[in-house]
Structure 1
């Protein structure tokens, strides 16, 4: 398989830099996709992706790893809530970034946390992803039970309405979140964030790309700001990026 040629084609057509991913993992994922649709060469697969919008979307979903749910790892989210209370000035309005937000479960979870802490405060949550189709689903704010199963009854009653077996986020929470298309590898980062949440994404990148992203996260945070990562993503050299450990999966910019 000509992986280099395919990477160059994906970068040109979809603006996704596959060279940033761990090559063995990526190779397996692409071969698995090709096998599922019954194509044997890169050229055949490119022809299929070009001609079939459904297969194109399946490829983008598979590569960009759109697996998510509200309050993923609830006990760790509780720890984040505690740190927001103790470390951040939430009564003056927080600027939060949910990076690689997928279908919106994560930024809406964050919105519920900060709204519950200080409902009259003007918080701004920026939610970004590389996938435009996924961002549209996020803006719609409609979910099935498997996606909201970790939401407490208190938050379900307060922030959702149920319509035809769909759980719909209320308009107040929707207004707190601004969705944007963004590539963590290729695009510039905003600054002055109180909190950046990026979970279960950086783990798929190679060491050089991880290093660049963590440096840019640090630069994008205010002094005293927090970085919240996934349950399998400890940053062992966190001091190199100007962080101290605030908790197992939470780092504070010093």
Structure 2
């Protein structure tokens, strides 16, 4: 079995389009994982994934890059907080936000904290999506470690978390802002009329054609004047081609 056939199998088995990823990088990652498991070839790996649920989940976690933390790149979240206050809230007091590829929920809950800080009386909603249903289950629980919350201000920990031993649970007033839905950025339709879309440290793994497709869809999903917030390594150099203007570093505004 070659990687093309493996990608076809993965699309049928998991509904994940691996051909959208940067091929060399993807093949190295899968080969590394197989090596760690002592698997000799792709045929053996497919057989393992078909019989072992734990390895299936490990593969999904490995492919979908479930690395997250609250307020990742804190200075960028501070800038986003300012832009929400100065650009979005004057237009609409009730914001509709999408946290795309949300992983274990640290990002949408970070957004919920920001919204509660800058506009606590607003009727905000946060759609949080990910391709991995198991990860979404963890996100709904809202349980985190000290490592996950290392960037959270002490006053926010007191205000928005319940501490039980070495676990930190996000409070229900933030939880209820977030609706979790399974969604594939490549294969599924996008909702519309968002004031803000946050998609960070995800599209960097995709090839350029897929990146362009995603940015085009994000543009259509935003309201006029809506904003797209991307990761610290994901500058959109051709942002004008999609109809954006640069609102700030890593924040793009729909014209």
Normalised by the length of structure 2, the TM-score is 0.98
Deviation for aligned residue 1:181: 0.2
Could you say which residue in structure 2 is the equivalent of 1:11? 11
Could you say which residue in structure 2 is the equivalent of 1:137? 138
Please give the secondary structure, in 2, of the residue aligned with 1:146.
coil
Could you say which residue in structure 2 is the equivalent of 1:80? 80
Q: Which runs of 4+ in 1 moved over 6 A?
A: none
Could you say which residue in structure 2 is the equivalent of 1:243? 244
Deviation for aligned residue 1:65: 0.3
Please give the secondary structure, in 1, of the residue aligned with 2:169.
strand
- 1:121-132 → structure 2 map (5 Å cutoff): 121-132=122-133
Could you say which residue in structure 2 is the equivalent of 1:152? 153
The whole-number CA distance in structure 2 between the counterparts of 1:242 and 1:80 is 20
Could you say which residue in structure 1 is the equivalent of 2:70? 70
Pairs aligned (count): 254
Q: More deviation in 84-93 or 97-106?
A: 84-93
Deviation for aligned residue 1:89: 1.9
Could you say which residue in structure 2 is the equivalent of 1:193? 194
**Correspondence 1:44 to 2:31:** no
RMSD (CA atoms): 0.9
Could you say which residue in structure 1 is the equivalent of 2:20? 20
The whole-number CA distance in structure 2 between the counterparts of 1:50 and 1:112 is 40
Please give the secondary structure, in 1, of the residue aligned with 2:32.
helix
Q: More deviation in 7-16 or 47-56?
A: 47-56
Deviation for aligned residue 1:145: 0.4
Could you say which residue in structure 2 is the equivalent of 1:179? 180
- 1:104-119 → structure 2 map (5 Å cutoff): 104-119=105-120
The whole-number CA distance in structure 1 between the counterparts of 2:67 and 2:37 is 21
Could you say which residue in structure 2 is the equivalent of 1:163? 164
Could you say which residue in structure 1 is the equivalent of 2:235? 234
The whole-number CA distance in structure 2 between the counterparts of 1:104 and 1:54 is 22
The whole-number CA distance in structure 2 between the counterparts of 1:229 and 1:167 is 26
Q: Which runs of 5+ in 2 are unaligned?
A: none
Deviation for aligned residue 1:248: 1.1
Q: Which runs of 5+ in 1 are unaligned?
A: none
Could you say which residue in structure 2 is the equivalent of 1:208? 209
The whole-number CA distance in structure 1 between the counterparts of 2:119 and 2:85 is 10
Normalised by the length of structure 1, the TM-score is 0.99
Deviation for aligned residue 1:117: 1.1
The whole-number CA distance in structure 2 between the counterparts of 1:173 and 1:76 is 21
Could you say which residue in structure 2 is the equivalent of 1:55? 55
Does the 8 Å CA contact 2:93/2:119 hold for their aligned counterparts?
no
Please give the secondary structure, in 1, of the residue aligned with 2:66.
coil
The whole-number CA distance in structure 2 between the counterparts of 1:8 and 1:124 is 36
**Correspondence 1:220 to 2:209:** no
